[in-house]
Amino acid sequence: MRAVWDAPLGAVGRGAIAFAAGFGRFGTFAIRVGRAMPDIGIWARLLVLQMAKLGVASLPIALFIAAFTGIVLALQASYTMTGAVPLYFVGTLVGKTMLLELGPVLTGLALAGRVGANIAAEIGTMRVTEQIDALETLAYDPLAYLVVPRVIAGVIMFPVVVVFADALGILGGWITAMNLLDLSSAEFVRGLRLFFRPFDVEYSLIKAASFGLAVTSIGCFFGFQTSGGAEAVGRSTTQAVVVASMLILVLDAFWAVALL
């Protein structure tokens, strides 16, 4: 006779096996990408194009999110601190929060949707329409042609986008503090500089680079794993966005434990 917990335990077991298998496949994929790196002749000329596509084209959405985040941060800080803490701490909170957390994480999550989905859908479609096989027959290593330039572009451009997002977020908070709060520009800057350390910027950039690596490699991995038709491309795209978003949050916690 089957116990009532057989079904849920079975499901957990199958999920664990699927996770381990997926992890193994990703490991193999990563090793193959590493081996494709020396094919500079293939990927170098595609790098600039991918940097523009992944980075420059992502700026508007990243800046939009950052500007409104800065505004809300300033208003919430003022609301929280009323009467208890000097108001110039609004500058401290906006600066620290944008640099250490919200700048890189919100940008990373937005780009997981925009960039990760785009990569997975594009490569997945190429997989199911045999364009990747066609690359192979023309003596191109598809990993060198499709994956390496995207991953390198992600690692380079995510920090660039995050720098702009951090700056605009702080600027948004600054303008809000001057116009909607009873705070002068000098007081905001005083708060901003109070606990600032150059390492805050490094920390923001390290996180952004790791998010760039995660989003692009996960997007490429799920794109390459696609088999079937349009439905499979849709499934790969969804998986890429979900896994990349989760990985960003895991990396966020990891860097906090490792570096702070």
Partner 1 sequence: MESVRKAFGEKVVLESVSLEIRDGETLAIIGASGSGKSVLLKTLVRLLVPDGGRITVDGQDVLALEREALYALRRHVGYVFQFAALFDSMTVFDNVAMGLRRSGAMGEAEIRDRVLESLRRVEMSGYEDRLPSQISGGQRKRVGLARAIATGPKYLLYDEPTSGLDPVTTAVVDELILRMAKELAVTSVVVTHDMKSAYRIAQRIAMLHRGRIRFTGTPDEIRKSNDDVVRGFIEGRPDLGQEAA
What are the residues binding partner 1 (CB under 8 A)? Answer: 35, 41-42, 129-131, 133-134, 136-141
Structure tokens at 118: 């785009």
Under a CB-based contact definition with an 8 Å cutoff, are residues 216 and 117 in contact?
A: no
The nearest distance, CB 131 to partner 1, in angstroms, is: 5
Catalogue the long-range contacts made by 32-39 (C-beta closer than 8 Å, 24 or more residues apart): 32/143, 33/143, 33/147, 33/148, 33/151, 33/217, 33/220, 35/143, 36/141, 36/143, 36/144, 36/147, 36/148, 37/144, 37/148, 39/141, 39/144, 39/148
The nearest distance, CB 140 to partner 1, in angstroms, is: 6
The nearest distance, CB 46 to partner 1, in angstroms, is: 11
Q: Which is nearer to partner 1, 28 or 129 (CB)?
A: 129
The nearest distance, CB 221 to partner 1, in angstroms, is: 19
CB atoms within 10 A of CB 139: 7
Q: Which is nearer to partner 1, 77 or 146 (CB)?
A: 146
Q: Which is nearer to partner 1, 9 or 17 (CB)?
A: 17
The nearest distance, CB 28 to partner 1, in angstroms, is: 13
Q: Which is nearer to partner 1, 46 or 105 (CB)?
A: 46
Q: Which is nearer to partner 1, 136 or 202 (CB)?
A: 136
Under a CB-based contact definition with an 8 Å cutoff, are residues 66 and 172 in contact?
A: yes
The nearest distance, CB 129 to partner 1, in angstroms, is: 6
Q: Which is nearer to partner 1, 97 or 226 (CB)?
A: 226
Could you tell me which residues come within 8 angstroms of residue 95 by beta carbon, excluding any fewer than 6 positions away?
A: 170, 173, 191, 192, 196, 200
